[in-house]
Amino acid sequence: MPMPITLKLYAFLSDYLPAEARRSNAVVLDVPDQTTVAALIATWALPPRLVHLVLLNGEFIPPQARAERALIAGDVLAIWPPIAGG
Amino acid sequence: MAWTRKILRINLTQGSCSSEALNMEWAAQYLGQRGLASKYLVSEIDPKVDPLSPENKIIYATGPLTGTMASTGGRYSVVTKGPLTGVIACSNSGGFFGAELKFAGWDMIIVEGRSPTPVYLHIENDLAELLPADDLWGSTVWSTEATLKKRHQDPLLRVSSIGRAGENQVLFAAIVNDLHRAAGRSGVGAVMGSKNLKAIAVRGTRGVGNIADAKAFMAAATAGKKVLAENAVTGQGLPTYGTQVLMNVINEMGALPTRNHRDVEFEGARKISAEAMHEKRATDGRAHLVANQACFGCTIACGRISRIDETHFSVETKPEYWGASGGLEYEAAWALGSANGVDDLEALQFANLLCNEDGMDPISFGATVGAVMELYDLGILSKEEIGLEVPFGSAEALCKLAEMTARGEGFGKILGQGSKRLCAKYGKPELSMTVKGQEFPAYDGRALQGMGLAYATSNRGACHLRGYMVSSEVFGIPVKTDPRETTGKPEMLKAFQDATAVVDSSGLCVFTTFAWTMNDIQPQIQAACEGDWSQDALLQMGERIWNLERDFNLAAGITGKDDTLPPRLLNEPCKTGGSKGMVAEIGKMLPEYYSLRGWTPEGVPTAATRSRLGL
């Protein structure tokens, strides 16, 4: 059963969004049940060096957990390249 | 040695300028800039002095690497007793002024007394003179800089000055150099204003040539630049997006204080973010962001130069603001925006321009507007009292209040006293989002537990730059820690605080530490400066500085009870997002922090700690 989730890509990763989604940095997707965080990242062919900060509903998902963590309907997955500020 | 070994002492009461030797014994213990200036300040003033009295002093200090070829080596600090906080104030600025002061041959300027009439200090290498500033009094920072360059017929003159906010004793008045770089926090500009000192204008032509081991220094500085260039954050992220890239990150985590910390997510965050600054506007087809900009010697170049929308209501009849100018940086965008629920990027830029033009800290100004809007929302403040309607989210109110505060008009005089005094005046002290009288920056202390402890223990009141736990809790630098976790945070914070004190005393920018470790910084200091500057010695110096500042603050009247957060952060859980349900767990961390510091359970350094650190 496909389920809706929201994918948000920021900073340099904005370029990987469809043009119409870049002004919101977000796109709503239907993904297959049991899709993991890592699988979704792979589907979008995001360069590994740009996949740094991965937040699922605001919670950081460490690299080693991304292949196990399955998405559920309504999830918001937000990804940034290496960034900092202050 | 990279010190010039010379101090310029200015007595404004007597109208005198004199040169004296730098205390090299102290330099060996405190390096320069923040540490060394703090040592001079605590040795020369009564901690209980009224910050706005002639008995307070204000020190402008470079570090040994200021003006050298080290990347970011252009920093200077302003150290005084802060009028906003009543504790030690140390505000750090970039731009070009600090390097120019060093080129003129001075490690620091100590200013004491009060001039009977407005003056400015003009320095040209060895020459230092106090000149009348009656005609400059009442003018802005930008106007003052332009006038002085013309008067001295020198476009390369570097000027550090106050605007009308500093003259009017706005308690969060800043000192601004190079038009939009500021020693921004704690009200150092009000101290300058209290002394009738409008500006310092400096021209130096000597460079910095007295490096202890020039060959080793060149090698270390070059290696350091390579690390910065090859690091994804300092080589790509910060130059392209600046600090403003954090707006969406912090919001997504549920850590973005919104509407005076009532909320932790802002529905308008995307509209005021770095990504929005890159997009072409519908009105004129131009992007808000024009370019990035570097301070002296910096190879990161995180600064933002933007152009406001000429058709925006704030400037449509004010063409003087249409040109490219500084902003927006993250902390300012948050304080002017999210803290008040304002999602109008152009309005934020206008308010930011006014803060730069008239010398105000946009963090404290914006956060105080947030308190005003909450008091208005609660019906405690009325339209009649303020002079306008100020609902949360009103861009018009934000812009008008910025003008009123900068110019000392009407309710702006009350707003200019900061959130703590304003909330107390209207019977709601608990609504002031401050620590030790200083307003929070852009991270919620409930969502980021380590940052909450950093706020509570900062020696200059709520501040992100004394121990930037965000680096670990959000970015994963140097290691990723869980922002919800309290275990291990006291130890990490102490390490951050001590290391930051080292960087702040060197002349370097703390942003280098997103890429550099002490392995990169120490060789540059060691090569530039005579003496033992091993990593152990440096980190012990950082600890010494922290305790020196703490001792001053205790003598000024604070106690361990001041190491806390507003009741809202301690008792009202975050309502939404990744931090939902969380409060700041200071009580779990503070005893361990005191113990690690070698302090009593009341937060006082023990005799053994003082002895170990040579205090």
pLDDT, tens digit, 9 for 90 and up, residues B320-349:
999 999 999 999 999 999 999 999 999 999
* B108 close to B62: Cβ distance less than 8 angstroms: yes
* Residue B370: CA count within 13 A, CB half-sphere: 32
- The residue ranges of every structural domain in chain A are 2-80
Alpha carbon distance B304, B327 (integer Å): 5
Question: Which H or E element spans position B228?
Answer: helix B214-230
Radius of gyration (Cα) for chain B, nearest Å? 22
Q: How many CB atoms lie within 10 A of CB B23?
A: 16
Distance (Å) of CA B521 to CA A4, B4, B6, B77, B107: 48, 21, 24, 19, 20
Which tokens belong to B485? 């976790």
In this structure, the strands spanning B197-203 and B158-161 are antiparallel
- SS3 category, B155: coil
CB A49 within 8 A of CB A28: no
Minimal Cα distance from A53: which residue of B? B475
Residue B376, pLDDT > 90, answer yes
| Cross-chain Cβ contact A84/B465 below 8 Å | no
Token look-up 């919101």 returns A24
CA torsion angle for B610, B20, B124, B178 (degrees, to 10)?
A: 10
Q: Place B9 in a pLDDT band, splitting at 50, 70 and 90.
A: very high
CA dist B418 → B248, B376, B497 (Å): 27, 16, 26
Q: Does A34 touch chain B (CB under 8 A)?
A: no
Euclidean distance between CA atoms B576 and B446, whole angstroms? 12
**How many angstroms away from the CA of B612 is the closest CA of chain A?**
33
Residues of B in contact with A58 (CB under 8 A): 252-254, 577-579
> Which structure tokens are listed for B351?
């308010």
- Closest approach of chain B CAs to the CA of A14, in angstroms? 9
pLDDT band at B209 (very low <50, low <70, confident <90, very high): confident
A–B interface: beta-carbon pairs under 8 A? 94
Contact A58 B233 (CB under 8 A): no
What's the CA gap between B281 and B276, in Å, rounded? 9
CA geometry: angle B177, B183, B185, nearest 5 deg: 145
Q: Is the pLDDT of residue B544 over 70?
A: yes
- pLDDT tens, residue by residue, B263-322: 999 999 999 999 999 999 999 999 999 999 999 999 999 999 999 999 999 999 999 999
pLDDT for the residue A86: 86
How far apart CA B346 and CA B282 sit, in angstroms, is: 13
Interchain pair B243, A85: CB under 8 A: yes
Q: Is the ipTM of this complex over 0.85?
A: yes
Q: What is the DSSP letter of B180?
A: T
Please report residues of A whose CB lies closer than 8 A to that of B471: 84, 86
CA dihedral sign, ordered A63, A68, A69, A73 = positive
- Name chain A contacts of B250, Cβ cutoff 8 Å: none
Q: Are B528 and B63 in contact (CB under 8 A)?
A: no
The Cα B458–Cα B462 span in angstroms is 6
Q: Measuring CA to CA, which residue among B439, B344, B318, B441 is closest to residue B398? A: B344
Chain A contact set for B458 (CB, 8 A): none
Strand order in the sheet with B127-132: B127-132, B119-124, B197-203, B158-161, B175-177, B181-183
Put simply, whether A85 touches B (Cβ < 8 Å) is yes
* Nearest Cβ partner for A82 among B237, B248, B464: B237
A16 has a chain B CB within 8 A of its CB = no
Distance from CA of B510 to the nearest CA of A (A): 10
Yes or no: say if B449 and B255 are a contact pair by the CB < 8 Å rule. Answer: no
Show Cβ contacts of residue A20 under 8 Å, excluding neighbours closer than 6 positions: none
- Residues 287-316 of chain B with CB under 8 A from chain A are 302
Amino acid at B148: L
- Give B243's contacts in chain A (Cβ within 8 Å): 85-86
Residues A30-75 have pLDDT tens digits of 999 999 999 999 999 999 999 999 999 999 999 999 999 999 999 9
Inter-chain CB proximity A10 and B275 less than 8 Å: yes
Beta pairing partners, B258: B263
What is the three-class DSSP state of B263?
strand
pTM: 0.98
Option in B240, B253, B475 nearest A84 (CB): B475
Query: CA B148 → CA B16, B157, B190, B233, B295, distances in Å?
Result: 21, 8, 21, 38, 21
Rounded CA gap, A53 and A46, in Å?
Answer: 13
- Kindly determine whether residue A86 and residue B279, on different chains, have CB atoms separated by under 8 Å: no
CA angle B428, B368, B94 (to 5 degrees): 145
The superfamily (CATH) of domain A2-80 is: Beta-grasp domain (3.10.20.30)
The mean of the pLDDT values for chain B is 97
pLDDT at B155 over 70: yes
Please tell me the distance from the alpha carbon of residue B330 to that of residue B336, in angstroms, as a whole number: 10
Q: In what order do the strands lie in the sheet with A26-31?
A: A26-31, A3-9, A76-80, A53-56, A59-60
Task: Find all residues with CB under 8 Å of B22, minimum gap 6, and list them.
Answer: B3, B4, B5, B6, B7, B107, B108
- Is B480 in CB contact (< 8 Å) with chain A? yes
d(CA B465, CA B455): 10
pLDDT in tens, B15-27: 999 999 999 999 9
Q: How far apart are CA B199 and CA B42, in angstroms?
A: 24
Check if the beta carbon of residue B466 is closer than 8 Å to that of residue B488.
Answer: no
Which stretches within B378-505 are classed as H helix?
A: 383-386, 395-407, 412-415, 418-425, 449-457, 470, 489-504
Does residue A45 sit at the B interface (CB-CB below 8 Å)?
Answer: no
* Residue B592: partners with Cβ closer than 8 Å, 6 or more residues away: B490, B491
Any idea what the Cα angle at residue B483 is, between residues B482 and B488, rounded to 5°?
Answer: 65
Q: Nearest CB to B279: which of A23, A78, A82? A: A23
Q: Which of A14, A24, A60 to mutate to test the interface with B (most CBs of B within 10 A)?
A: A60
Chain B residues with CB-CB distance to A86 below 8 A: 243, 246, 330-331, 464-465, 468, 470-471, 510-511
Q: How far apart are the C-alpha atoms of B449 and B469, rounded to whole Å?
A: 9
DSSP track, B19-30: EEE--HHHHHHH
Give B332's contacts in chain A (Cβ within 8 Å). Answer: none
Q: Does B253 contact A8 at a Cβ distance shorter than 8 Å?
A: no
Distance from CA of A20 to the nearest CA of B (A): 13
Query: Are B465 and A62 a contacting pair at CB < 8 A?
Result: no
Interchain CB contact of B514 with A (< 8 Å): yes
Instruction: Tell me whether A63 touches chain B (CB under 8 Å).
Output: no
pLDDT tens, residue by residue, B236-269:
999 999 999 999 999 999 999 999 999 999 999 9
Q: Domains in chain B, please, with CATH? A: 6-203 (3.60.9.10), 243-438 (1.10.569.10), 447-514+534-613 (1.10.599.10)
Instruction: Residue B8: count other Cβ atoms within 10 Å of its Cβ.
Output: 24
Rounded to a whole number, what is the distance in angstroms from the first to the last CA of chain A? 43
B525-534: pLDDT as tens digits = 999 999 999 9
Three-class SS state of A8: strand
Query: Residue B233 and residue A62: Cβ atoms within 8 Å?
Result: no
Residue whose tokens read 């209290």: B194
Quick one: closest CA in A to B332, which residue?
Answer: A86
Residue B1 in this model has a pLDDT that exceeds 90: no
Tokens standing for residue B312: 């925006």
Distance CA B206, CA B155 (A): 17
